[in-house]
Amino acid sequence: MIELIPALDIMDGKCVRLTQGNYDTRKVYRDDPLDAAREYEDYGIRRLHVVDLDGARAGRIINHRTLERIASHTALTIDFGGGLQSEADIAVAFECGARMISGGSIAVRQPDVFAAWLKRYGSDRIILGADARGGMIAVGGWEETTALELIPFIASWHEKGITKVISTDISVDGMLSGISPAMYKEIQKAVPGLYIIASGGVGNIADIERLAEASIGGVIIGKALYEGRIALKDLVRFTERTD
C-alpha cells in the first residue's frame, strides 16, 4: 500500500506553498505548522515531509525550531530537507527530531559530502532528493536547472547505496493539475528495488490511486490538502490498510 506523506513547506515559521518552486508565488496556508501536523496525525497519518524553504534558498538550515516543535509534540516520522549543506546542518536536523533527511543540492554540488553522510548514517536515514524540470535535475530551491539528467543521476546514487528517493516533477508542482505515473515508472524500470516517493501535481484521490496501482512506494501531498481538493477523511482508507 502506498505511503501517504503530507508536506509542510516552511517559510518564516509558517506553512506555505509555492507554484512550480517560484518563491514569488508564496501563499500562507497555516500560521502554525504544528496545528497542521497534529491534524494529520489525528487522521492516521504517520509520516511527514518538512521542507525548510528559507534554508533551501540560503543554503543552510533555518527553520529547525519549527521542526523541533513538530517532532516533540507528535509521534510522526519526519523527513526533513532544504538547505542542508554541512555536517553541522545535518546534526541540527537530527537533534531537532528529524528521523530522516533528504538532500538534493548537496548531492549535486558536494557529492563527496553527501556520500559521507550516506556512509555514516545509512540508507534508512538519508534520502536522495531528485527534483526535475524537463527531465533535468534542479537545485538551490529549484532556482537552478543543471545539466544532469534525472534517471542517470538517480541510478548513480543507487549504485552508491541510496535506497530511497523523493522525486518532484517541478513542472506540475503546486498546480493541482494531476500527477502522471510515467516519470516514476521510468525510474522504477531503470532502477529496480528503489523506494520511490512521488511529489508534485497531486490534485485528487485518483492521482494517489494511480500511483498506488503503479506500485510507487509513497506520495507527497501538499496543496491539495490545503485547498480542500483532498479531504483528510478520504485518506483514512489508505492509512487503515497499512495497520
Sequence ranges of the domains in the chain: 3-240
| Residue 238, pLDDT score | 86
CA dist 82 and 10 (Å) reads 10
| Residue 231, pLDDT score | 94
Hey, what's the torsion of the CAs at 74, 79, 83, 87, to 10 degrees?
100
H/E stretch holding 155 reads: helix 150-159
Enumerate the β-bridge partners of residue 47: 77
User: What is the DSSP code string of 84-138?
Assistant: --SHHHHHHHHHTT-SEEEESHHHHH-HHHHHHHHHHH-TTTEEEE--EETTEEE
The pTM of this model reads 0.91
Q: Which one of 9, 79, 89, 207 is the catalytic residue?
A: 9
**Cα–Cα distance list, 98 to 33, 159, 162, 187 (Å):** 15, 25, 18, 26
| Residue 243, pLDDT score | 41
Determine the CATH number of domain 3-240.
Answer: 3.20.20.70
| Residue 177, pLDDT score | 67
| Residue 197, pLDDT score | 97
Cell of 46: 504517520
Q: How many CA atoms lie within 13 A of 108 on its CB side?
A: 23
For the beta sheet containing 136-139, the strands, ordered from the edge strand earlier in sequence to the opposite edge, are: 132-133, 136-139, 144-149
Say if strands 164-168 and 100-103 run parallel, antiparallel, or are unpaired.
Answer: unpaired
Residue 209 C-alpha from the chain's centroid: 19
3-state secondary structure of 222: coil
| Residue 242, pLDDT score | 43
Q: Is 9 one of the annotated active-site residues of the chain?
A: yes
Q: Which one of 52, 54, 131, 207 is the catalytic residue?
A: 131
Q: Is 131 one of the annotated active-site residues of the chain?
A: yes
Q: What pLDDT tens digit does each residue of the chain (243 aa) get? A: 899 999 999 999 999 988 777 888 899 999 999 999 999 999 999 999 999 999 988 889 999 999 999 999 999 999 999 889 999 999 999 999 999 999 988 999 999 999 999 999 999 999 999 999 889 999 877 778 899 999 999 999 999 999 999 998 887 766 566 787 889 999 999 999 999 999 988 999 999 999 999 999 999 998 899 989 999 999 998 887 544
